[in-house]
Structure formats: C-alpha cells, structure tokens
Amino acid sequence: MLKNSKLSKILLLTIILISFLTPRIFADDTNEVLDDNSTINKQIVETIETSSNDVSLPDINSRAAVVIDRSTNRILYGKKENEKCKMASTTKIMTSLVIIENCNLDETIEVSKKAAGTGGSRLGLKTNDKITIRDLLYGLMLCSGNDTAVALAEHLGGNIEGFAEIMNNRAKELGFENTHFVTPHGLDADEHYTTAYELAKLANTALNNETFIKIVGTKNYTVTINGQPKNITNTNELLGNLAGVYGVKTGFTNGANRCLVTSCKRNNLDIICVVLGADTKKFRTKDSIKLIEYTFKTFTPVDIQRLVDEKFEEWKKENLDCFEIIKGQNQNVELKINPLEFETIPINNNCIKDIKIVIDCKQILEAPIWENTCLGKIEVYAGNELITSCDILLNCNIQKKNITNYFVEIIKGLKTSFASF
C-alpha cells in the first residue's frame, strides 16, 4: 500500500513537472486576462508623451514591422519588412477573407469533433454545436478562436489541407511571393510564414470588404451557439482606445511572439501598421503606438496630380511653339498625360518643400505620328526619391506630307516670290 502511495506521488510530481516544462502554445491573447481600458489608456498616453517631441525613426522592440499607406501600399516605415516571419493568429485575416468571399454567411453549420478539440484560444465550441458562419467569423476575429478557424476550414476546404490550398491560391492571386499557409489559425508550423509587408497588403485587401471591416471594427459582440447567446470581446487592445484605430487583428505563439496588425485613419491619411515578433504584449502595444504616432506626425498626403497638371500646363505654354515636325502636314502639336496611378501620395514633411517635377519630352519629330504616341515622361521626386511618373502622349494625328502638300507649298512659295518684285 505504501509502495502504491509512493508511486502515486511520483506520478503526480512527474505530471506537474511536465506541465511546467511543456511550452504553452496559444494562438492569441484570449487565454490571458484582458487589460482594462484604464490600463491601456495609461500606456497609450505614456507612449505618446514620451515620443511627442521626437521626430526621428522610432526605436522598437519588434523583430519586423511596417507601416503602409492604404491608398498606395507605399511603405512609410519599414524594419525587416520583407523578411519571412511566423505570424500567429494574424493568419486569420486570410482565413476570414476567403470565407467571406466564398461562403453564405447566414448558413448554419455543425461543429466537428476535430474543430471542437482544437486547443489554444477558443470560442468554446463543442462537438455537434450549431452556429452560423457569420458568428464563427466574429469568434475567429474577436476572440481569435482556433476552434472556429478549423470549423470554417472544414466547411470550405473539406479539411485543413484543402483550406490551406485555397489560402495559398488567394495569396498567389494577390502577387505574394513570401507568404505560405499551412493552417487556418496560425499555430506554429515550419512552412507557415509571411512578411510584414505582405501581411499589411493582405490586411489592406481584406479591409476593402465591407463585411470584414465591420467584423474587425467590433469591440463586443454576441454570438449564438445552439440558440444560446454568448458575449465575446475583441482582443485588439488599441481598438476603441487609440484615436482613429478601426481594426485589425492580434496574434501570439511561442514561435511568432507578439504580433499586431492595426488599421488607423486620421483626416486624409489611412494606414496599416504591422508589428511581428515583439517580446511582450506591452512591447507590441508600445511599438504599434510609436509607429502610428510617428507616421501621422511625419507624413502629409499631397495632391501630386494637381501639382503635375499645373506644371505641365506651364511647360506647354513655354514649349509648344518649339516643336518641329519633319515632313508633317502641319506643325500643330497637342499633348496630354496619362493620369498618375495615385493622385494623392503621403510625403515626409521634410521633403514636401523639395518636391521636384521633371519634364522630358522630344520636340523634334518626324511624321507620320499617331495619337497616343509616347513622346516623353514626367517624373516626380521628393528629395532624391522618385515617387511617381507618367507618360506624355500625343493627343492628335499628324499626317506625313504627300505630293499635293508639296505642290501647294511650291505654289505658295512662287506667289510670295512674285509678290516681292
């Protein structure tokens, strides 16, 4: 009996030891106590005050980070933004996007044993639970449910592998070269990775979808499981606490560390901030705030199209009479420019006064020349950086002289000669 007692104690101690030594893997922060608003606001105020007079590049803890302008995908800040990284539950941005694009969100599905048994952060689904796809999406993006991720993956892809194929095909459609998905939830896997920049562009694509933007901008929501209500809260600590923030997604695994994708809009500047690999949740929050505040302090959207149009009109007034059309039936040149890809571009405040527009156009031409022939280029520089360009095009047809034209010119020449006697 004593022997059995000793064995029981040894077994119990072994189990306890294993539980402490085994790494804890979560797909997000929902297994932790959520910070209350006062704690978050205090951290936000402290971070903003610390960096309020500092216009230099922020010093951040995160392994990789990027800030992009939503209208142009232009990088406003980058730190190892093209380096492959694990991304934890920010994976669920793609999961959500492909589900929204391919499913009837009002359809009710039944939860499988596999989905119900998925660990990490959870909505709390059980085998055979019935829930709509829409509510699964809220559980996916607000409380980062791994169980909801698997349920959704099985519904659309048949299984996790089939769903990963759908995710990867969508990534290819978006032109991503350094992103690959293995799971719908983001638990660590060797071949599951992205970059800060491609993740930001993914979020930008998803945010063009009204359903997605509504979900990720929701602070609290009530899902219905088997007809019973359940309240859930968004894990995004900046949503509702930092001015202008309206999404997107948190993430955490042992391999990825702390991750956060944030969308924020103030006045005419709309940005996405991504931090990957922060050591702690506090660093993740501080890094995101630093980068967001730096961006709005440092960049101003400039109407580049207007500047180019004004400069081009001035240039035409000074130069249209200087064109020579060899063998042309006339010397009247009409020009136009292609619209810029983006009318407004955020420019570093230190470079706005140094915006330079360079016009290079051929002025000696040989007929025939047809409408839309490219004659030159306009390039726009902010400091030494080329920020955009467009082509200068002929806006008319200029025919080559024929025998009749030459005959008419000879007659005119003779008339002029006789008139001079």
CA 109 vs CA 86, 128, 228: distances in Å: 30, 9, 15
Which residue has tokens 């901008």?
Answer: 217
Distance CA 136, CA 180 (A): 23
For residues 158 and 268, state if they share a domain. yes
For residues 289 and 331, state if they share a domain. no
Q: How many structural domains is the chain composed of?
A: 2
For residue 16, pLDDT beyond 60: no
What CATH number is associated with residue 357? Answer: 2.60.410.10
For residue 18, pLDDT beyond 80: no
For residues 106 and 197, state if they share a domain. yes
Burial class (CB in 10 A: 0-12, 13-18, 19+), 386: exposed
Final residue of a domain: which of 298, 332, 349? 298
What CATH number is associated with residue 273? Answer: 3.40.710.10
For residues 169 and 249, state if they share a domain. yes
Q: Are 166 and 98 in contact (CB under 8 A)?
A: yes
Q: Is 92 a catalytic residue?
A: yes
Distance CA 283, CA 26 (A): 18
- pLDDT tens column, 247-292: 999 999 999 999 999 999 999 999 999 999 999 999 999 999 999 9
For residues 239 and 142, state if they share a domain. yes
Of 79, 92, 249, 286, which is the active-site residue? 92
Burial class (CB in 10 A: 0-12, 13-18, 19+), 213: middle
Per the domain annotation, does 331 fall within a domain? yes
For residue 14, pLDDT beyond 60: no
pLDDT, average across residues 93-99: 98
Per the domain annotation, does 186 fall within a domain? yes
- Cross-strand pairs, 249: 261
Q: Is 89 a catalytic residue?
A: yes
Contacts of 347 (CB under 8 A, 6+ apart): 299, 300, 301, 302, 355, 382, 387
What is the residue range of 72's domain?
29-298
For residue 196, pLDDT beyond 60: yes
Per the domain annotation, does 413 fall within a domain? no
- Cross-strand pairs, 265: 270
For residues 195 and 93, state if they share a domain. yes
Per the domain annotation, does 39 fall within a domain? yes
**Strands (DSSP E) found in 37-111:** 64-69, 75-79, 108-110
Q: Is 144 a catalytic residue?
A: yes
Q: Are 60 and 275 in contact (CB under 8 A)?
A: yes
Per the domain annotation, does 355 fall within a domain? yes
For residues 337 and 280, state if they share a domain. no
For residues 331 and 202, state if they share a domain. no
Distance CA 271, CA 248 (A): 11
pLDDT, average across residues 7-29: 47
Distance CA 109, CA 127 (A): 11
Of 62, 96, 144, 263, which is the active-site residue? 144
pTM for the complete prediction?
0.85
Per the domain annotation, does 313 fall within a domain? no
Per the domain annotation, does 312 fall within a domain? no
Of 89, 96, 121, 263, which is the active-site residue? 89
For residues 360 and 240, state if they share a domain. no
For residues 167 and 200, state if they share a domain. yes
Give residue 313's region: left, alpha or beta (phi > 0; psi -120 to 50): alpha
Backbone phi, psi, residue 109, to 5°:
-125, 165
For residues 142 and 175, state if they share a domain. yes
For residues 91 and 236, state if they share a domain. yes
Distance CA 310, CA 211 (A): 40
Of the candidates 145, 102, 105, 153, the residue with the CA atom closest to the CA atom of residue 126: 145
